[in-house]
């Protein structure tokens, strides 16, 4: 596990974008796992810039999003379908048939979740998974107590997550309480994982994920079991790490100055 601490959110976003670009450049038909939330917005902005100014090519890339609220149509401004198109897909040359986002209006959720897992496998698995983290340590919508072996399924969101995400919804509009999410087991099968976190509100969840025990009570802590997981943090999100100096020491002394 690697921990990269950036001075600013902008720097963090650019560092994460470099990791995504490296994957896409080395494998033009790479399969990316993507996240929503406010945290990856800077990363997506930088990927759009790289596409427009540097020719970063997404024409053969496939994507799988982590999650979606149950009951929101793709045209709903708070749906993750809408978010992804507004903030990334409408601005790059990705082929619409290569975009996969859980369908939150499927009649038969169980069958849909199984078919989502099959589609990921049929594309050869996820090469690089992008994650954010909830203030309770969730990845995707794998709330505390989710099985670390879980697969794509419906989850009931915690009150804390509903409160955290209420800021995106209009006054009086209810945040959906169910979501379809890739499981922790699904996420851990990605060949490489990057988790982005910004702000002091994430510091505790981040410290528990990196330095705490591996536990279903903080599903991001499962990344400790992954061979290629990197946390991209800004200073505020790194604020509660006990090993912070060591993580910075590692970055300053990489063997051979490797990037």
Catalytically active residues, by annotation = 67, 136, 138, 143
Name residues contacting ligand GLP, limited to 39-58 (CB under 6 A).
Answer: 39
Footprint of ligand GLP on residues 156-185 (CB under 6 A)? 161, 165
Tell whether residue 33 is a contact of ligand GLP (CB under 6 A): no
Answer for which of 46, 67, 127, 234 binds ligand GLP (CB under 6 A) is 67
The correct pick among 61, 133, 180, 220 for binding ligand GLP (CB under 6 A) is 133
Q: What angle do CA 223, 67, 29 make, to 5 degrees?
A: 75
x/- binding map, residues 80-99, to ligand GLP, per CB under 6 A?
--------------------
- C-beta closer to ligand GLP: residue 9 or 247: 9
Sheet holding 2-6, edge to edge: 2-6, 229-234, 192-197, 128-131, 31-34, 62-65, 99-100
Q: Is 38 in the site for ligand GLP (CB under 6 A)?
A: yes
- Binding flag, residue 3, ligand GLP (CB under 6 A): no
The distance of closest approach from Cβ of residue 117 to ligand GLP in the complex, given in angstroms and rounded to an integer, is: 18
Residue among 97 and 170 whose Cβ is closer to ligand GLP = 170
Cβ(185)–Cβ(149) below 8 Å? yes
59 binds ligand GLP (CB under 6 A): no
Give the closest residue to 88 by CA, choosing from 120, 30, 39, 45. Answer: 45
Shortest CB 211 distance to ligand GLP, Å:
19
Q: How far is the CB of 255 from ligand GLP (least distance, A)?
A: 32
Q: Given the complex with ligand GLP, which of 5 and 182 has the nearer CB atom?
A: 182
Q: What is the distance between the alpha carbons of residues 80 and 189, in angstroms, rounded to a whole number? A: 22
Closest CB to ligand GLP among 93 and 160? 160
Q: Does 66 bind ligand GLP (CB under 6 A)?
A: yes
Q: How many residues lie near ligand GLP (CB under 6 A)?
A: 14
Residues that bind ligand GLP (CB under 6 A): 35-39, 66-67, 132-134, 140-141, 161, 165
């Amino acid at each position: 596990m690697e921990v990269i601490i950036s001075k600013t959110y902008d720097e963090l976003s650019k560092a994460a974008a470099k990791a995504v670009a490296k994957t896409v450049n080395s494998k033009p038909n790479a399969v990316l796992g993507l996240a929503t939330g406010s945290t990856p917005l800077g990363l997506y902005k930088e990927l759009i810039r790289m596409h427009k100014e540097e020719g970063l090519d997404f024409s053969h890339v496939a994507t799988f999003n982590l999650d979606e609220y149950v009951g929101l149509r793709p045209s709903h401004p708070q749906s993750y379908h809408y978010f992804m198109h507004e903030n990334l897909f409408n601005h790059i040359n990705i082929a619409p048939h290569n975009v996969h986002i859980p369908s939150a209006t499927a009649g038969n959720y169980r069958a849909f979740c199984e078919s989502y897992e099959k589609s990921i496998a049929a594309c050869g698995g996820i090469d690089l998974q992008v994650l954010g983290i909830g203030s309770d340590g969730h990845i995707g919508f794998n709330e505390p107590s989710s099985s670390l072996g879980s697969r794509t399924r419906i989850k009931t969101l915690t009150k804390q997550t509903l409160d955290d995400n209420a800021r995106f919804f209009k006054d009086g509009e209810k945040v959906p309480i169910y979501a379809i999410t890739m499981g922790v087991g699904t996420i851990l099968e990605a060949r490489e994982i990057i988790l982005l976190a910004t702000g002091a509100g994430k510091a505790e969840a981040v410290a528990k994920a990196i330095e705490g025990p591996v536990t279903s009570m903080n599903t991001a802590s499962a990344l400790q079991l992954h061979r290629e997981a990197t946390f991209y943090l800004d200073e505020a999100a790194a604020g509660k790490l006990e090993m912070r100096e060591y993580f910075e020491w590692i970055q300053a002394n990489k063997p051979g100055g490797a990037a």
